[in-house]
Structure 1
Amino acid sequence: MRPTGKLHLGHYHGVLKNWVQLQHEYECFFFVADWHALTTHYETPYDIEQSVWEMVIDWLAAGINPGSATMFVQSRVPEHAELHLLLSMITPLGWLERVPTYKDQQEKLKERDLATYGFLGYPLLQSADILVYRAGWVPVGADQVSHIEMTREVARRFNHLYGREPGFEEQAEAAIKRMGKKTAKLYESLRKRYLEQGDGEALETARALLRDQQNISLGDRERLYGFLEGGGKVILPEPQVLLTPEAKMPGLDGQKMSKSYGNTIGLREDADSISEKVRTMQTDPQRVRRTDPGDPDKCPVWQLHQVYSDEATKSWAQQGCRSAGIGCIECKKPVADAIIEEQRPMRERAKRYEEDPGLVHSIIAEGCDHARDAAKATLEEVRSVIGLAYD
């Protein structure tokens, strides 16, 4: 996540709630993408620096647990930059120019000079962010799927160029024998079905078979993944998309909640401020007087009810609005109360970190160390297959 300002409820419902759940299901790496922020905000670097620590506190407040997930700052793990550089040597320029968000962002951010190498190359930096951890799954929204597909193409090209280690076939055959006679026979049968008949089901079954093997090394497993498909050793596995549930969090004006629209509620906003923002929200413009019936479908407050209210409250709001049985202030109160209640545990969790910034710094330092250990292991192998391991 880019550190470009304080987080709001749109970030929470769109990303953080999903992260909180994923940290208990997978080994997760969550990082502050400060280099990515520089691709569009390079003229205001001090804003980025100030936002980093506030954003980490927001993550912790939302429920990200440093005991369950690795949290770190991108620029503190220089292996991201090194892999980005090495991947840039093999990535065709056209791949970057055709990324849908490239021209889209240039159009949206016309006031900024984005005719820079950094902005053109940010999708490849994103690929390096993923591939340096050999990630199996990447949680993204539908608008980011094209970035993951490009990452898969980059990994495929890298493996094709550098996956043919000396004696590859001999090492693969030896690894098959180490699986045991019965498993080896099944693997060879599935490989033959895939290579000779294009049987996709056989390919998936063989991959699952390899994932379950306990008596072969990680290197052998990656080698056999490549051998399975008739290629070389898989140095950089191709990541899969884990689509994030779509959550369009409405803002105070009914549009999508966004800082650029000035319609946000902060993730750790004061209860009185939340009450005031909701109380002064625009409602159905046709409902001028308290006795005028309204139409919830034309009211931004109703959109918030759909996010925060139970069925009974939504029914009460619908009927009361259409019949003028309740006023707009009455209708808004359950929404404000629900938002305040949602944020109460967040504010409580945040207080500890706000009072002890050193604790936040130590969490990030520990996360950076763990991330670097994982990234270094990848870079050692990458350098070796390219021919840059001068030992």
Structure 2
Amino acid sequence: MSSRPRPVILTGDRPTGPLHLGHYAGSLLARVSLQHSHRQFVLIADTQALTDNASDPGRIAPNIVEVALDYLAVGIDPDVSTLCLQSAMPALAELTLLYLNFVTVARLERNPTIKDEIQMRGFGRDIPAGFLCYPAAQAADITAFKATLVPVGADQAPLIEQTNEIVRRINRQADRQLVPEAKALIPEVGRLPGADGQAKMSKSLGNAIPLSASDEAIAEAVRSMYTDPGHIRASDPGRVEGNVVFTYLDAFDPDRAAVADLKAHYRRGGLGDMALKQRLTRVLQAMIGPIRERRAELARDSAAVIDMLRTGSRRGEEIAAGTLEEVRNGLGLRRL
């Protein structure tokens, strides 16, 4: 067997609510499939969640266990992947503070992901400083574990680019490679729209289907999905492009040939929206049902989940603290 070290993955989520199908398609499937071939760190970013929830910090703590339950239920194995809590690793905060000296406010404001999020949240010029500085914090998270691969949606790719800019500045300043650059791993399915078809699937927008959704909730969400407004009668030819039901079938239906046949049928006419929605409902219920059941079983012992996070966080902090000292020494900083 090869003695080469496994590539390192850093990924994670903010604990602002249970995870949903957008997370599942966007990164959870990749995390599950890659955890045995890579060294994977999965971060519950509770500190980052404060950047736009400072007025309601009590929302965050209860969702830490909820997100951890979702991780475990979809198949992330804590014996293979390291699951850790951002606030339990103080080295990340110090590394963030160091990195903020290697990026300008103007560059942070130009980041397309940050610009879009600021507009979506209606901050105007009242942008929380922590929110604006998120790219530096993410750079700290990624480089603390010397990750070279980060599973993200396409809309998050500019954050990885900015991480690499900071990495290059740090390495130039030290005149050697202290931390590596990372590559964004973008899923083929792309950005999953919300059930309303108007934006990405988001907890805050209320258009998400949680991984813990009941069969009834799944059916209700699918019934409300946007299809083709010009497809008034089943006999009418319909548009597949922009049709949310087909987007979800492309993402989750394992029978690719059947989906291709449905698209052809829909385009020529003779296939009603209700038949499509019934198929998608069955597909999602079959996929989410086992996840929901595993999640409910795990939730019966939340203390074990918390212990798992404590163990992972101790392991993560040891690694992050080592990277922090390497960066400090490389920059000529010494502790008293």
Structures share fold, TM-score greater than 0.5:
yes
Matches within 5 A, 1:341-356: 341-356=286-301
CA contact (8 A) 2:51 2:130 kept: yes
Report the secondary structure of 2:43's partner residue. strand
Q: Distance in 2 between matches of 1:114 and 1:139?
A: 30
> Of 28, 31, 34, which aligns to 2:46?
34
Q: By how many angstroms is 1:361 displaced?
A: 0.4
Structure 2 match to 1:249: 192
1:388/1:60 Cα in 2 relative to 1: closer, same or farther (>3 Å)?
same
Q: By how many angstroms is 1:99 displaced?
A: 2.7
Structure 1 stretches lacking a partner, 5+ long: 164-231
Deviations 1:125-161 (A, max 9, x none): 1111122222233333343333333323323333333
Structure 2 match to 1:315: 261
Q: By how many angstroms is 1:342 displaced?
A: 0.9
> Of 158, 161, 170, which aligns to 1:158?
170
Structure 1 match to 2:7: none
Structure 2 match to 1:22: 34
Report the secondary structure of 2:60's partner residue. helix
CA contact (8 A) 2:238 2:266 kept: no
Matches within 5 A, 1:82-93: 82-93=94-105
Q: Distance in 1 between matches of 2:312 and 2:137?
A: 20
1:47/1:315 Cα in 2 relative to 1: closer, same or farther (>3 Å)?
same
Q: TM-score, normalised by structure 2?
A: 0.83
Q: TM-score, normalised by structure 1?
A: 0.73
Q: By how many angstroms is 1:388 displaced?
A: 2.1
Report the residue type matching 1:88 in the other structure: L
Q: By how many angstroms is 1:76 displaced?
A: 0.6
> Of 121, 124, 147, which aligns to 1:109?
121
Corresponding position: 1:357 with 2:299: no
Deviations 1:294-314 (A, max 9, x none): 515375433333334422354
Corresponding position: 1:80 with 2:92: yes
Q: By how many angstroms is 1:320 displaced?
A: 6.7
Over aligned residue pairs, what C-alpha RMSD do you find? 2.7
Structure 2 stretches lacking a partner, 5+ long: 1-12
Report the secondary structure of 2:297's partner residue. helix
Report the secondary structure of 2:133's partner residue. helix
Structure 2 match to 1:192: none
Identity percentage of aligned residues: 37
Q: By how many angstroms is 1:24 displaced?
A: 1.8
1:133/1:316 Cα in 2 relative to 1: closer, same or farther (>3 Å)?
closer
More helix by share: 1
Q: Distance in 1 between matches of 2:320 and 2:263?
A: 52
> Of 159, 174, 181, which aligns to 1:239?
181
Q: Distance in 2 between matches of 1:274 and 1:90?
A: 46
1:49/1:387 Cα in 2 relative to 1: closer, same or farther (>3 Å)?
same
Corresponding position: 1:67 with 2:79: yes
1:116/1:257 Cα in 2 relative to 1: closer, same or farther (>3 Å)?
closer
Report the secondary structure of 1:312's partner residue. helix
CA contact (8 A) 1:18 1:244 kept: no
Matches within 5 A, 1:137-176: 137-161=149-173, 163=174
Report the residue type matching 2:41 in the other structure: F
- Higher Rg: 1
1:331/1:108 Cα in 2 relative to 1: closer, same or farther (>3 Å)?
closer
Q: Distance in 1 between matches of 2:69 and 2:328?
A: 36
Q: By how many angstroms is 1:286 displaced?
A: 4.4
Q: Distance in 1 between matches of 2:284 and 2:98?
A: 46
Report the residue type matching 1:315 in the other structure: D
Corresponding position: 1:120 with 2:132: yes
Q: Distance in 2 between matches of 1:120 and 1:277?
A: 34
Q: By how many angstroms is 1:81 displaced?
A: 0.6
Report the residue type matching 1:136 in the other structure: T
Deviations 1:67-118 (A, max 9, x none): 1111111011000011112233444444434333333332222157743332
Q: By how many angstroms is 1:30 displaced?
A: 0.9
> Of 20, 32, 40, which aligns to 1:8?
20
